Amino acid sequence: MTASNSETLRRFIDAVWNKGELDAIEGFLAPAYAIRHDPGDPWDGKTLDAAGLRERIRISRAPFPDQRFTILNCFEDGDQVAIFWTWEATHQGDIPGFPASGKSIAMSGATIYSFEDGKIAGHWQVADRLGVMQQLAQR
């Protein structure tokens, strides 16, 4: 039995984003991964291969190695899966302008993932990155 796209996405979020199992990326991805809309993300508008996405996730996780996404809602429609999520992490590594602080940080967002032949092919996302920066700036 083939996994649904939403099941595949849940496994991807848990293994790759939450646990940092970057070598697992190839098993989840289509040949090209398009970041269609992700304001504030340096990769916004880019199309990546597995190595490029692995590097993006490595860099994104570095300051927050204990990060955890919690999927609040998940909706599947054809080749798209929408999730509403929360994210929590401890600021353990430097970000330009924000040296590691040990602060607990949280944000929320929504992401629509697209799939091709059961593989993740990209996303469109809105996330509260400003809220993260405000939390980091608090003394």
Q: How far apart, in whole angstroms, are the C-alpha atoms of residue 66 and residue 17?
A: 10
117 C-beta neighbours (distance < 10 Å), count: 7
Q: What is the pLDDT of residue 139?
A: 73
Mean pLDDT of the chain: 96
Residue 138 near residue 124 (C-beta atoms within 8 A): no
Q: Indicate the CATH number for domain 5-137.
A: 3.10.450.50
The token pair at 14 is 């848990």
Question: Is the pLDDT assigned to residue 2 strictly greater than 80?
Answer: no
Contacts made by residues 41-45, CB under 8 angstroms, sequence distance 24+: 41/125
Q: pTM for the complete prediction?
A: 0.94
In the chain, the percentage of residues whose pLDDT exceeds 70 is 99
Residue 1 binned pLDDT confidence (cut-offs 50, 70, 90): low
pLDDT digits (tens, 9 = 90+) for 44-62: 999 999 999 999 999 999 9
